Structure 1
Amino acid sequence: MILEQYYTKCLAQGTYYIASEGEAAIIDPLREVQPYIDRANEDGVKFKYIFLTHFHADFVSGHVDLADKTGATIVIGPEAVTSYAFAKAEHLQTFNLGNITLQLLHTPGHTMESSCYLLRNEDGKEEALFTGDTLFIGDVGRPDLAVKSDLSKEDLAGHLYDSLRNIVMPLPDDITIYPAHGAGSACGKNMSSETSDTLGNQKKTNYALATDLSKEDFIKEVTTGIAPPPAYFPKNVWMNKGVNSSIDEIISRGTSPINAKSFKALADDADFLVLDVRSPQEYTAGSIPGSWFIGLDGQFAPWVGALIENIDQKIILVVPDGREEEAVTRLARVGYDNAQGYLKGGIEAWKNAGYELETIEDITAQEFVDGLENGAIKYAADVRKPGEFKNAHLENVHHFPLSNIHVDIQKYDPEKTFSIHCAGGYRSVIYASILKANGIKNLQNVLGGFGAIKKAELSQIDIIKE
């Protein structure tokens, strides 16, 4: 038997490839399916099943594309409704794969179709449980994404409690738990950075599996303090229930080179968004007026989904040489299928054509602190998440989380200079780029963010811990 986890850090997402005796299965595949096909060809196996644990909200799955290309059967749990052909499995239904089996366990709660898959090895031993968003390492799935008129988040949390107690926890302690997500995903509140663990250890360390936790207390815990889901989540669920454009078509269109003159014409068109995916410091050193920065070397796809409100937005890219396909693929992972091409020759081609560039001033953490203390810096914004800010922040600094920028932007006076920091210098440049695109030009970016600020010499201001 072959069992491999494909973990995508940007989405904090786990896909699972399983093969036995010439047959293969995939659990929760990403949009781009060619790597799975290549792996099956290398192993000399043929895909038989594509298992979905549920309709994911945070990424678009490639299950339909993979089924079309391989002939594999898509399997989803009870209560699933789609516009494509699939096998609707029942609770405890078993699927043979070579000389191993996978059994569907219906575990409603995160969503009503949510299911886990129990793997029994060649000897019939229960070896692994693929839990989707039902059970994470250190946490459980949020119960607010499948709410409807007759189903509240409290109702879903109650179902989740019952699923965990009645279906998951009675399984052997030595089975390995393989979840769909880890730390950094918006599908839970407090996930571990670990991507697998034994069920026995989770019973000891995961608050949600505590034996003395009542149903009432569980419901209260998992429904309290949930950050609002990114706006693209419902659209991704809808896409995962339907048939979407082929990733091959999306990549072909999105990787079309556009010369500087044609690129400028599109950049000047209000229907297009220029998305610059280079490094933060490359962006601050010189960027196309009106462009947004969301760098590839960070949580690219989640921030695209959180900030670009129109999922059908036409996007043209400023991208490092050789990473064009990567950028288009990662956009498509979260349903942004309308990349129209990239600037051929990059920023150098733009400059050589004589077109204007804008800059954002970078300052060191010590310069920032000194400016706050001597009064040179009067307006400072911390754009980290609420939990980060609450844990530690500078006094007299405004808290404007990046995720809320489209609301908070009206609070900025374009005549004033704002110094912006996050934790390390990635989100602050995203924030500054969106301000700049909206006419707020007097900006400073604090290099190294709060991590560097904590190491600076402070004499008159304090770090506050709430």
Structure 2
Amino acid sequence: MKVEQIYTGCLAEAAYYIESNGEAAIIDPLRETQPYIDRAARNGATIKYILETHFHADFVSGHQELAAKTGATIVFGPTATPGYDAHVAQDGEVLKLGNVTIKVLHTPGHTMESATYLLQDENGKDHAIFTGDTLFIGDVGRPDLVQKLKAEITPELLAGLLYDSLRQKIMPLADDIIIYPGHGAGSACGKHMSKETTDTLRNQKTFNYALRTDMTRDEFIKEVTTGLVAPPQYFPYNVLMNVQGGMPDIEEVIKRGTMPLPPAEFQLVWDHEEALVIDTRRKEAYANSFIPGSIFIGLDDNFAPWVGTLVSNLRQPILLVADEDRVEEAVVRLSRVGYDNSIGYLKGGICAWKEAGYRTDSVEEVSPDVFASLYRVDKQINLLDVRRESEYRTQHLEGAVSFPLDFINQHMSELDKSKEYYLHCAGGYRSLITASILQSRGYNRIVNIKDGFKGLVGTGLPLTAFEEQRSML
């Protein structure tokens, strides 16, 4: 028996490869399917099952394409209603895979159809559970995502079901069983996920707040429904894509998205298609020189989730400015969250753009030390903290205004274009995204603080916990 976790850090997502005696199962595959096919081929195995723990909200699954290429059976938990051929398993149903078995446990709570897959080894001993978004390391799945699609399924209803699922289906299992979750820290599918991506049930019973044996159902419901921020806007759209199916083949998406466009053609396509230009280069390169009107979302961080959070239309035509050896990576990562309409990239990059006589712009930046000197002279300086509200509440600079990047589209009009604003996040990535968006919308007095809060803490400026925000106007 072979079990392999395939972890994708930029999405904080875990897929799984299980193999026994020439047969393999893939759990929660990403959009690009060839790596799973190649892995099975190297081992001389046939992919028999594609097991989906639920209809995912944070990424588009590759289950349909993988099934079409391999003949494998797609399996969902009870109550699932996919719009394509799949096996909807019964609670307790056993699937045979080589010399091992996989038992389907219906564990509603994150979603109604959520399933946990119990792997039993060659001797019939319970070995591991693949919990999807039902149970994470240090947390459980949030119960508020389904309501975006079905208002009658409330977070409180799902939280109660999740309590029952954990205590009736998972906690009675052997303490030495291994937990393989669907996500790790950084995912928006939970609140307090650990950086660890696997653990034993024994440890989670000790350290995971949601598995406390003395926790009542009402206490659990209150705990898991408190402090939830609005999910990224693309989540409901990804759910529908995963339910309905019919996505284009990833190869076609890549072919269209990696079309090289010389500067004049790039400009022509930009105008004609009303495209969004996303610059994916390193943040230092973007700040130094960028195409006016483009926005920065760099590949060296949580690229796809931030695109999904900020770009409301999944069908928006997208043009890329990227290092040529990373264009395909950008297109693939966009497709993972349902953005299939990449239509090309700037051939030759910014150098070719300049050589063709087109204008560039830059982002004004200061070091934390320089900002500290300015702040000590003028404590009324307009400072926007673009981290998440929870980060701001934990600790922030005195006088800073919370202006989370997550909700920039809702709150941008609260800013005054005649005023100067200094921006910071935790390390400089999110604040540069914010600066690029504001500058593209005509806010021209924007200054980014390099190294973010991490750098500002070292300057000795006064820090505080949550306080009433002062007006940005």
Tell whether the structures are fold-level matches, with TM greater than 0.5: yes
1:457: how far off? 4.0
1:367 correspondence with 2:367: no
Paired position in structure 1 for 2:158: 156
**Structure 1 CA distance for aligned equivalents of residues 426 and 193 of structure 2:** 19
Normalization by structure 2: what TM-score? 0.96
Runs of 5+ unmatched residues, structure 2: 467-473
- Say if 1:253 and 1:339, in contact at 8 Å, map to a contact too: yes
1:196 correspondence with 2:161: no
1:157: how far off? 0.6
What aligned pairs does 1:11-22 form with structure 2 within 5 A after superposition? 11-22=11-22
**Structure 1 CA distance for aligned equivalents of residues 111 and 336 of structure 2:** 21
- Say if 1:119 and 1:129, in contact at 8 Å, map to a contact too: yes
- Say if 1:11 and 1:301, in contact at 8 Å, map to a contact too: yes
1:345-378 per-position Cα deviation (integer Å, ceiling 9, x unaligned): 1111101101000110111001111111112982
1:436 correspondence with 2:428: no
Identity of aligned residues (%): 55
| Matched residue type, 1:374 | V
What aligned pairs does 1:31-430 form with structure 2 within 5 A after superposition? 31-147=31-147, 148-241=150-243, 242-269=245-272, 271-375=274-378, 378-430=381-433
**Structure 1 CA distance for aligned equivalents of residues 54 and 138 of structure 2:** 20
**Structure 1 CA distance for aligned equivalents of residues 122 and 379 of structure 2:** 70
1:410-454 per-position Cα deviation (integer Å, ceiling 9, x unaligned): 122222221110000000000000001101112111110000001
**Structure 1 CA distance for aligned equivalents of residues 320 and 342 of structure 2:** 8
In terms of mean alpha carbon deviation, does 359-368 or 148-157 score higher?
148-157
1:254-309 per-position Cα deviation (integer Å, ceiling 9, x unaligned): 01101100111233457200000011111110111110110000011111100001
| Matched residue type, 1:143 | P
| Matched residue type, 2:437 | I
1:2-45 per-position Cα deviation (integer Å, ceiling 9, x unaligned): 11001011110000001111111100000111111111111111
- Say if 2:277 and 2:294, in contact at 8 Å, map to a contact too: yes
1:243: how far off? 1.8
1:159: how far off? 0.5
| Matched residue type, 1:105 | L
Runs of 5+ unmatched residues, structure 1: none
- RMSD across aligned positions (CA): 1.1
**Structure 1 CA distance for aligned equivalents of residues 410 and 116 of structure 2:** 39
**Structure 2 CA distance for aligned equivalents of residues 465 and 377 of structure 1:** 18
Paired position in structure 2 for 1:9: 9
**Structure 2 CA distance for aligned equivalents of residues 4 and 87 of structure 1:** 24
1:222: how far off? 0.6
**Structure 2 CA distance for aligned equivalents of residues 413 and 289 of structure 1:** 20
In terms of mean alpha carbon deviation, does 241-250 or 66-75 score higher?
241-250
**Structure 2 CA distance for aligned equivalents of residues 453 and 278 of structure 1:** 25
- Say if 1:377 and 1:419, in contact at 8 Å, map to a contact too: no
Normalization by structure 1: what TM-score? 0.98
**Structure 1 CA distance for aligned equivalents of residues 295 and 204 of structure 2:** 41
**Structure 1 CA distance for aligned equivalents of residues 74 and 331 of structure 2:** 26
- Say if 1:366 and 1:457, in contact at 8 Å, map to a contact too: no
| Matched residue type, 1:122 | E
1:155-186 per-position Cα deviation (integer Å, ceiling 9, x unaligned): 11111000001010000000000000011100
| Matched residue type, 1:193 | K
The ranges of structure 1 where at least 4 consecutive aligned residues each deviate by more than 6 angstroms after the TM superposition are: none
* Number of residue equivalences: 463
| Partner SS for 2:435 | helix
